[in-house]
Amino acid sequence: MLRKFRALFFLIPATVAFAQQPSPTPTKPKPPPEPPTTVSSVHVDGPYIALTFDDGPHEKLTPRLLDLLAQHHIHATFFVIGENVAQHPEILQRAVREGHEIGNHSWSHPNLAKMSDDAVRSQIKRTEEAIIGAIASRPVLLRPPYGSLTTRQKHFIHDDLGYEIILWDVDPLDWKEPGPNIVSSRILKETRPGSIVLSHDIHAQTIQAMPATLTELEAKGFKFVTVSELLKLRTPVPPPTPKPVGTPATTPSAPVAPSPNG
């Protein structure tokens, strides 16, 4: 009897303590993820790509590039520097007449992420005014120099200034001037449907790389559109296909010995 009493004596405080524990707080549902403020590539139903050229217009090289694009009936997107627009507005006017798109690439190509918000706004607005003065149309696309922006800057450029912020998924590093053949091979290797291809129309090697590059991209079946056209062709990414239940596991193949010439 005494043993039962002792057991009950120790059980009562434990029961009371357990009853006094706070009930778990219901977890709040996670908010849906915010839509991305930058675009590097898109999912498309078809072999569509966008060629983009930065840092121009260049007095001699950009007209050569426009000649080449016209021969191939290709429309591209030019992200231009405000200082260069002010010096060569006639090149922008020709580009627009021939069906190309003009985007904002800042006034003097600084790293915007290291600047104040007011300085960033000035870089963008001055370039916007120069473009409007040249072609009587406001740009709606912006590519930050070096692809560099803070999260806060991305939001006010998109939400307040009304720009789509465009990056890239194919970068041949042509600004390092590795040679026309390497520039071309990098673009051909990396380009996929929905790609945004980065190049610069201020480097002679880039222009030299374009004839073979455009011919090979056409041979692969790619179709060229401006960035705004590519965004309109964007389709939702399909969900992954579920694996069928009960599929027997495949037997791994025997390893292949490496080639001595690898």
In a domain, 137, yes or no: yes
Residue 224 included in any domain = yes
Digit-coded pLDDT (tens) for 145-159 = 999 999 999 999 999
CA angle 48, 51, 56 (to 5 degrees): 160
Q: Please tell me the distance from the alpha carbon of residue 102 to that of residue 161, in angstroms, as a whole number.
A: 16
Confidence category of residue 128, pLDDT binned at 50, 70, 90: very high
How does residue 117 score in pLDDT terms, banded at 50, 70 and 90? very high
254 within some domain: no
What is the rounded CA–CA span in Å between residue 68 and residue 73? 9
- Give the domain CATH number at 193: 3.20.20.370
Could you give the CA distance from residue 51 to residue 60 in angstroms, rounded to a whole number?
20
Amino acid identity of 187? I
Q: What is the pTM of this model?
A: 0.80
Domain count, the chain: 1
Residue 205 lies in a domain: yes
Residue 229 has pLDDT above 80, yes or no: yes
Mean pLDDT value across residues 38-61: 98
Residue 220 belongs to what domain range?
38-232
Higher pLDDT, 28 or 162: 162
How many Å is the Cα radius of gyration of the chain?
A: 28
Q: How many angstroms separate the CA atoms of 114 and 112, rounded? A: 5
154 within a domain of the structure (yes/no): yes
Indicate if the pLDDT at residue 171 is higher than 80.
Answer: yes
- Is residue 18 one of the residues assigned to a domain? no
Is 256 a member of any domain? Answer: no
Q: Is residue 157 helix, strand or coil?
A: helix
Looking at the domain assignment, is residue 111 inside a domain?
yes
Cite the active site residues.
54, 200
List of residues 6+ apart from 91 with CB closer than 8 A:
56, 57, 59, 62, 63, 66
- Percent of the chain's residues with pLDDT above 90: 76
